[in-house]
């Protein structure tokens, strides 16, 4: 008998290898990957940002939100760490 656990931090239609962005400040999941390079906010499941060439870009405004270094995203202006990526 298989046991299935529901993870409310990601979309029900995503697969088990979903990548999540967690906030540095509290480790909470802020967004999850819906496609290879798109992230949706956990709070409303709307596309929030697109990753392109190591930059996290706002899906609404086109503004650069963060710069990726490894699995960590840093604020584009201040250089402060904002999010880290983890697999679900």
Are 65 and 58 a contacting pair, CB within 8 Å? yes
| Domain presence at residue 63 | yes
Separation between Cα atoms, residue 88 and residue 78, nearest integer Å:
28
Q: Which residue segment(s) compose the domain that 24 sits in?
A: 19-87
Residue 8, domain member (yes or no) = no
> What does the pLDDT read at residue 61?
96
Task: Tell me, yes or no, whether 80 lies in a domain.
Answer: yes
pLDDT tens track, the chain, 88 positions? 333 233 344 444 444 458 999 999 999 999 999 988 999 999 999 999 999 999 999 999 999 999 999 999 999 999 999 999 998 7
Tell me, yes or no, whether 25 lies in a domain: yes
In a domain, 78, yes or no: yes
Q: How many domains does the chain have?
A: 1
For residues 19, 23, 26 and 27, what is the CA-based torsion angle, rounded to 10 degrees?
Answer: 10
> How confident is the model at residue 17, as a pLDDT?
57
39: tokens are 């992230």
For residue 38, being part of any structural domain is answered with: yes
Helix (H) or strand (E) holding 15: none
Question: Is the four-CA dihedral 59, 55, 40, 22 of positive or negative sign?
Answer: negative
- Inside any domain, residue 53: yes
């Amino acid at each position: 008998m298989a046991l299935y656990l529901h993870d409310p931090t990601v979309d029900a239609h995503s697969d088990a290898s979903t990548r999540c962005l967690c906030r540095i400040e509290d480790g909470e999941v802020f967004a999850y990957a819906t496609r290879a390079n798109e992230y949706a906010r956990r709070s409303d499941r709307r596309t929030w940002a697109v990753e392109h060439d190591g930059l996290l870009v706002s899906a609404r405004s086109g503004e650069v939100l963060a710069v990726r270094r490894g699995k960590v995203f840093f604020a584009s202006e201040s250089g402060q760490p904002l999010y880290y990526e983890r697999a679900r």
